[in-house]
């Protein structure tokens, strides 16, 4: 082979020279360097060092023709190339060095020698086993490439966040792309896991090699979990949302605690990047919906980082299981930031085993999703007394002479052409316990208030009997005419339209709270409470079976909370949409308790 090596080397060299000499007529978009490219000595036995498979789709020489020079060079090189040594695996090393105080630096390096091809991405990963809270990142990159501005180089953290380190800089360059970057965007994240360098070649005509790169991560050890209290134990969870904090908006992030503990201590560690610390109000919401403010517009301009620890005692004694939500409110304009990460440590004692949940009622039962106030049929529970009737189920208050709430189910089988009934002497609910004042329709006469249905008459038009069942006084509250006949009626009609037009079914609970007066009624002893506000919660799902199994985090929810007053007849009912959590806070009720905890938590945040 050595006897014929020189002639072919000479031929390759001539082709190389022809390629260089006629570079100016190749169809390249870039301006070519004026520096002559090196060519091989025709008398040498060595293959030209400059031989590379570049420009295979855009090369042209006057001597050989379009593309043919590069193709011939590539074929000849393949025929006479010495046998390559076995490929060595990319070298990856990691090490940790303790520096001053509690700060540590962890380093890793990789030498993938991986090809960078036109219009493709090349990646290489370094695994970091140390779990530090990042305070500094340094990346050193060494790439061989014949056109530096083809390349976009990014670093991806273990949580999946990508930061651009170099964006098509350097023009033709020198053939080597070596640089150091110190991205601050990763500050606050955990160092543990796979860090990935991503090299994207965004143009044709030049290729190269990702030779090697190194990563140095400086950080501190996460804070030690608070010691268990009174024989309890501690659970800790961390979230790294890297979520944008925008002016005059709210940013949230959740952590799910699976352990059923009675909390005795709660610790929250928060890491935020923001250019004006005093813009921010930071709160923590428990699985039960209780909110506690952790930080209230403190710190002035600050230094760009809002990191703090809080130990709110307000949550002591509650059930830790469920979704905890960190809420960051930006109360001003002109400065934005990022909720980088936060952690939650809950110390508590094991709760007593919970008895098995009773079998839920069958599909279409008014209380399929749960009993909002745990009403019972015990007559001693006279202000949260469970009323079960053919068309609805209610919690009734003897002291207020009206329902606290009424629940019902509606689908197309309930909707027909039966005319609206009326309130009369048959509207009195004579099934209330003996000795209780039974409200009549005449107790409302002259009061100025409508006899406001909870379950609307129009939701039961399939039969005369069903419609009459909506006129029982245990389904009625004093409702301002402008409310009842205005936005409230339009909201009821909207739900029925969904049922008719989209073949949906609805589970609805309506109630009221507050008090603005009393209706004395006939004889002056009715004493009916006039509520300050009326509310409704509706779950809408496509009609079908096994409803509890079909309700999920994405199920449609409508929730409204409306003032019970005049002057709103022409207002849009959607102006009064709220979240289910808002109604729970106002009433003390709890909705969706027959659903899995994660579904409960998701649906409670919906309704608007």
pLDDT of residue 206: 85
133: confidence class by pLDDT, cuts 50, 70, 90: confident
Give residue 396's Cα distance to chain centre.
39
**Beta strands 528-530 and 517-519, pairing class:** antiparallel
What pLDDT score was predicted for residue 102?
59
For the stretch 380-425, pLDDT in tens is 999 999 999 999 999 999 999 999 999 999 999 999 999 999 999 9
Q: How confident is the model at residue 260 (pLDDT cuts 50, 70, 90)?
A: confident
Least confident of 114-128, 223-237, 586-600: 223-237
pLDDT of residue 352: 61
Lowest mean pLDDT among 130-134, 394-398, 430-434: 130-134
**For residue 427, is pLDDT > 70?**
yes
CB 65 within 8 A of CB 16: no
For position 358, what pLDDT does the model report?
A: 67
Over residues 243-262, the mean pLDDT reads 92
Residue 176 has pLDDT above 80, yes or no: yes
3-class secondary-structure state, position 309: strand
Q: What mean pLDDT is predicted for residues 518-530?
A: 93
Q: What is the pLDDT of residue 421?
A: 95
Angle 166-172-175 from CA coordinates, rounded to 5°:
85
Instruction: State residue 104's pLDDT score.
Output: 85
- pLDDT at 594 (0 to 100): 94
Q: Does residue 50 surpass a pLDDT of 90?
A: no
CB neighbours of 254 closer than 8 A, spacing ≥ 6?
A: 239, 323, 324, 325, 326, 601
Percent of the chain scored above 90 by pLDDT? 63
Average pLDDT of the residues in 177-181: 92
Per-residue pLDDT, 170: 86
- The token duo for 336 is 């934005």
* Chain segment 300-346, per-residue pLDDT in tens: 877 788 889 999 988 988 989 999 999 999 999 888 899 999 999 99
Which residues are annotated as catalytic?
453
pLDDT digit string, tens, across residues 264-292 = 999 999 999 998 888 999 999 999 999 99
Q: Give me the pLDDT at residue 72, please.
A: 45
Which range has the worst mean pLDDT, 13-17, 113-117, 541-545?
Answer: 13-17
Query: Would you give the distance in Å from CA 196 to the centre of its chain?
Result: 24
Work out the end-to-end distance of the chain between its first and last CA atoms, rounded to an integer number of angstroms.
Answer: 81
**Alpha helix locations (H) across 88-130?**
none
Sign for the pseudo-dihedral over CA of 330, 332, 338, 344:
negative
Does residue 86 have a pLDDT over 50? Answer: no
Between residues 30 and 205, the one the model is more confident about: 205
The pLDDT value given to residue 354? 55
- Distance, in Å, from the CA atom of 507 to the CA atom of 455, rounded to the nearest integer, reads 11
pLDDT of 17 over the 60 cut: no
Q: What is the pLDDT of residue 487?
A: 97
Predicted local confidence at residue 351, as pLDDT: 65
Tell me the residue ranges of DSSP E strands in 168-227.
176-181, 193-201, 208-220
Chain-wide mean pLDDT for the chain?
Answer: 83
- Locate 451 and state its tokens: 């006899």
Residue 372: pLDDT above 90? yes
Is the pLDDT at 24 greater than 90? The verdict is no
- Residue 96 in this model has a pLDDT that exceeds 50: no
pTM, full prediction: 0.46
* Share of residues in the chain with pLDDT > 70 (%): 80
Q: Which residue has the tokens 């090699």?
A: 209
Q: Is 282 exposed, middle or buried (0-12, 13-18, 19+ CB in 10 A)?
A: buried
Count of beta carbons in the 10 Å neighbourhood of residue 526: 20
Check whether 255 has a pLDDT greater than 60. yes
Confidence of residue 132 (pLDDT cuts 50, 70, 90): confident
Average pLDDT over residues 482-492: 97
Q: Would you call 210 exposed, middle or buried from its count of C-beta atoms within 10 A (0-12, 13-18, 19+)?
A: buried
DSSP code, position 408 = E
């Amino acid at each position: 082979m050595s006897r014929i090596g020189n002639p072919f080397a000479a031929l390759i060299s001539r082709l190389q020279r022809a390629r260089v000499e006629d570079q100016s007529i190749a169809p390249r978009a870039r301006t070519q360097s004026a520096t002559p490219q090196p060519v091989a000595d025709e008398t040498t036995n060595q293959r030209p060092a400059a031989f590379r498979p570049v420009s295979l789709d855009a090369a042209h020489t006057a001597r050989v023709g379009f593309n043919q020079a590069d193709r011939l060079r590539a074929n000849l090189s393949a025929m006479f190339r010495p046998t390559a040594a076995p490929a060595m695996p990319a070298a990856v090393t990691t090490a940790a060095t303790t520096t001053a105080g509690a700060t540590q630096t962890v380093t890793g390096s990789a030498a993938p020698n991986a090809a960078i091809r036109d219009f493709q991405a090349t990646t290489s990963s370094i695994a970091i086993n140390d779990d530090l809270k990042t305070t500094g990142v340094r990346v050193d990159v060494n790439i061989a490439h014949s056109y530096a501005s083809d390349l976009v180089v990014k670093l991806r953290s273990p949580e999946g966040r990508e930061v651009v380190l170099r964006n098509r800089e350097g023009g033709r360059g020198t053939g080597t792309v070596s640089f150091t970057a110190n991205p601050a965007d990763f500050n606050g994240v955990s160092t543990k896991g796979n860090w990935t360098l991503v090299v994207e070649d965004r143009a044709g005509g030049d290729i190269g090699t990702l030779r090697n790169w190194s990563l140095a991560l400086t950080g501190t050890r996460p804070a030690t979990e608070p010691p268990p209290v009174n024989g309890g134990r501690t659970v800790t969870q961390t979230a790294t949302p890297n979520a944008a904090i925008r002016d005059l908006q709210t940013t949230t992030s959740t952590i799910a605690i699976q352990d059923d503990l009675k909390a005795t201590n709660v610790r929250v560690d928060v890491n935020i990047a923001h250019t004006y610390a005093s813009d921010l109000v930071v709160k923590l919401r428990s699985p039960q919906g209780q909110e506690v403010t952790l930080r209230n517009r403190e710190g002035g301009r600050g230094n760009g980082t809002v990191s703090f620890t809080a130990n709110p005692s307000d949550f002591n004694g509650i059930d830790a299981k469920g979704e905890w939500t960190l809420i960051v409110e930006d109360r001003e304009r002109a400065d934005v930031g990022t909720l980088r990460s936060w952690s939650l440590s809950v110390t508590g004692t094991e709760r007593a085993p919970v008895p098995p949940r009773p079998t839920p009622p069958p599909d279409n039962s008014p209380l399929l999703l749960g009993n909002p106030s745990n009403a019972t049929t015990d007559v001693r529970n006279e202000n949260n007394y469970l009323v079960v009737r053919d068309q609805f189920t209610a919690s009734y208050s003897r002291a207020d002479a009206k329902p606290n709430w009424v629940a019902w189910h509606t689908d197309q089988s309930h909707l027909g052409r039966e005319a609206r009934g009326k309130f009369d002497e048959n509207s009195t609910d004579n099934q209330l316990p003996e000795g209780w004042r039974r409200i009549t329709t005449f107790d409302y006469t002259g009061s100025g208030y409508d006899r406001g249905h909870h379950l609307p008459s129009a939701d039961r038009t399939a039969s005369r009997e069903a419609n009459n069942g909506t006129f029982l006084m245990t389904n009625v509250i004093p409702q301002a005419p402008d409310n009842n006949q205005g936005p409230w009626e339009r909201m009821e009609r909207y739900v029925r339209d969904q049922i008719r037009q989209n073949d949906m079914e609805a589970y609805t609970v309506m109630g009221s709270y507050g008090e603005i007066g009393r209706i004395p009624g006939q004889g002056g002893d009715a004493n009916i409470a006039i509520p300050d506000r009326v509310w409704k919660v509706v779950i809408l799902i496509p009609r079908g079976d096994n409803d509890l199994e079909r309700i999920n985090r994405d199920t449609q929810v409508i929730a409204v909370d409306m003032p019970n007053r005049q002057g709103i007849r022409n207002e849009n009912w959607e102006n009064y949409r709220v979240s289910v959590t808002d109604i729970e806070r106002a009433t003390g009720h709890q909705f969706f308790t027959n659903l899995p905890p994660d579904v409960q938590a998701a649906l409670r945040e919906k309704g608007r």
